[in-house]
Structure 1
Amino acid sequence: MDQNQEVSSPVTRNDVRDIVTDIVKSQMTIFMSQLNESIASTINKELAVMKTELEGVTESMGFINKQYEEMMQAFKVVSKDVSQLKEENTQLKNTVTTLNHKLNFLEQNARSNNIEIQCVPENRNENIFSIVTNLGATIGCAVTEDNILQCTRVPKADRTSARPRSIVAQLSSPKLRDTFLAATIKYNRANPGDKLNTSSIGYAGEKKAIFVTEHLSPVNKALHAAARLKAKELKYKHVWVRNGRIFMRKSDDSAYLFVKDMDFINKLI
């Protein structure tokens, strides 16, 4: 053997471990590189899908936003129109209310000569003019047929009512109308136990009260009826009519109230 030839030293356990470690490190480096490439590729693919979806969402949001803006513009236009319609409706209601008041005033004014006689029994062959003149003689207010411009029975507001139809007489003037009404009040005050009734004007049989009032327009008649019901409910002592206007008074010492409309009655406490 050549003395100059180097003799190989034996491989130790540490040498084997170092070799294995180097191999593992090399393989791990390759594996990690491949893993990173795989992860990056997967993420890029997913991101591409998400990007596409996000672009679709963005486009949809843009469309929705455009639709929203158009809807808001339309809403503003509609809101403006609604506000205008509400204002016009309020004006129309006020106009209708004013016209109704004027119409009621005209209807009541057309009745300024009239009296309404209630609860006089009906007979087939009756002479209504004679009933009115006889009634005038009874209460001390002389009325002739020449003073009666028109006289008739009027239809019932409630057809099921057993009460006779009222008699409406148009007298020659508002002054005579007021005199007739005042004479009726005076007669009843003078005869508190035997107020105006059917026997007072010559009707036989059971006595039935007769009432003489102003001839009210349909609106005022309904208002008068409502005022009387409210007065009964709230224990108001007086309800009366003067020149087509309705008044209430809770007691003899309290101030009188002018009943303007149904809202006034509904607010009474």
Structure 2
Amino acid sequence: MLRESQRRQADLETKIDGLLALPARMDELSSKVDALSRSTADLNAELAAQKEAAAAKNQAHAARLDKLENSQQSHHVDVQQVVESNAELRDRLKNLEIKSLMCDLLVSGVPELESENLQDVFRSLLRRLEIVPTHNDLIEATRIRSTKITNKPRMILFRLQTVQCRNEILSAKRAKGAIHADEISLAGNHPHTPLFINEHLPPSLVRFLATVKTRAKECGYRFVWIQNGTVHVKKSEGADKLIMNSEADLDLIVPVPRD
């Protein structure tokens, strides 16, 4: 009985000691909670600062990207303007080249003589075309070197006073038809070879004319000619003519349906 009482007394004292120690433990726990709260607050503050820094960095990147996009668009506009300007300059240069050659005629097929007088060749040609010559029609007459290696005689360049004079000769040649070297009454025994009279074209237009002829032949068009520096195409005699100003116009030449 005494032992049971002593055991209960010891248990009670233990519980009392535990209760007495509880405030200290609560204080310790409260301190830990406060420390954890402060740590959490510091962490939240750090996270907020990092988030703000990331947002600022993203904003800076977005601003830089916008600047780059605007710069790219500006460069694109500049490049487009340069392309358009170059195209305009090419067109102007082409027109200037054509205008500078507007009064020229090229005649091929005339045999070369050692002591030839090209002015006499010009006058003989006009007589064959039944054109009355005037003393100031011709400004210059010369042979020009061929870009190809050939045994054919060099072409003759006739530089005339006016475009009207050139067009009159071209029109008379179309009306007369074929003319041959032995028909223009020059000194020497000329062969019966055809003479060709054409406008003087700049190299770029010569290449474009060749391209148009190839396309027209592939599509079954019968007529391709050039007049005043402009290329014309027709399917047949009664068809409407097409005007070729650039390679984009080649799409107008479509295959002719076969019967």
> TM-score range with shorter-chain normalisation?
0.5 to 0.7
Q: Are residue 177 (structure 1) and residue 162 (structure 2) matched? A: no
Amino acid at match of 1:165: R
Counterpart of 2:83? 93
Counterpart of 2:201? 216
From the superposition, tell whether residues 84 and 121 of structure 1 become closer, same or farther in structure 2 (CA, over 3 Å). farther
Amino acid at match of 1:87: V
TM-score, normalisation: structure 2: 0.67
Secondary structure of the 2:193 match is: coil
From the superposition, tell whether residues 135 and 220 of structure 1 become closer, same or farther in structure 2 (CA, over 3 Å). same
User: Whose radius of gyration is greater, 1 or 2?
Assistant: 1
Counterpart of 1:38? none
Counterpart of 2:7? none
From the superposition, tell whether residues 164 and 71 of structure 1 become closer, same or farther in structure 2 (CA, over 3 Å). farther
CA distance in 1, matches of 2:102, 2:189: 33
The equivalences for 1:100-179 within 5 A come to: 100-143=90-133, 146-156=136-146, 158-179=147-168
Amino acid at match of 1:200: E
How far has the Cα of 1:185 moved from its partner? 0.9
Secondary structure of the 2:115 match is: coil
CA distance in 1, matches of 2:212, 2:75: 35
Amino acid at match of 1:76: D
Q: Are residue 83 (structure 1) and residue 68 (structure 2) matched? A: no
From the superposition, tell whether residues 121 and 84 of structure 1 become closer, same or farther in structure 2 (CA, over 3 Å). farther
Q: Are residue 264 (structure 1) and residue 249 (structure 2) matched? A: yes
Counterpart of 1:233? 218
CA contact under 8 A between 2:233 and 2:243: conserved in structure 1?
yes
Counterpart of 2:257? none
Secondary structure of the 2:132 match is: coil
Q: Are residue 199 (structure 1) and residue 204 (structure 2) matched? A: no
From the superposition, tell whether residues 66 and 155 of structure 1 become closer, same or farther in structure 2 (CA, over 3 Å). farther
CA contact under 8 A between 2:111 and 2:190: conserved in structure 1?
no
CA contact under 8 A between 1:133 and 1:144: conserved in structure 2?
no
CA distance in 1, matches of 2:151, 2:247: 27
Amino acid at match of 2:73: S
How far has the Cα of 1:71 moved from its partner? 5.3
Amino acid at match of 2:157: V
CA distance in 1, matches of 2:210, 2:88: 22
Counterpart of 1:187? 176
| Residues 172-218 of structure 1, C-alpha deviations (whole Å, 9 max, x = no match) | 22222111111111110xxxxxx212222246354322111122233
How far has the Cα of 1:131 moved from its partner? 1.6
Paired positions, count: 207
CA distance in 2, matches of 1:263, 1:161: 34
Secondary structure of the 2:233 match is: strand
Backbone CA RMSD of aligned residues: 3.1
How far has the Cα of 1:247 moved from its partner? 0.6
- Structure 1 alignment gaps of length 5 or more: 1-54, 189-194
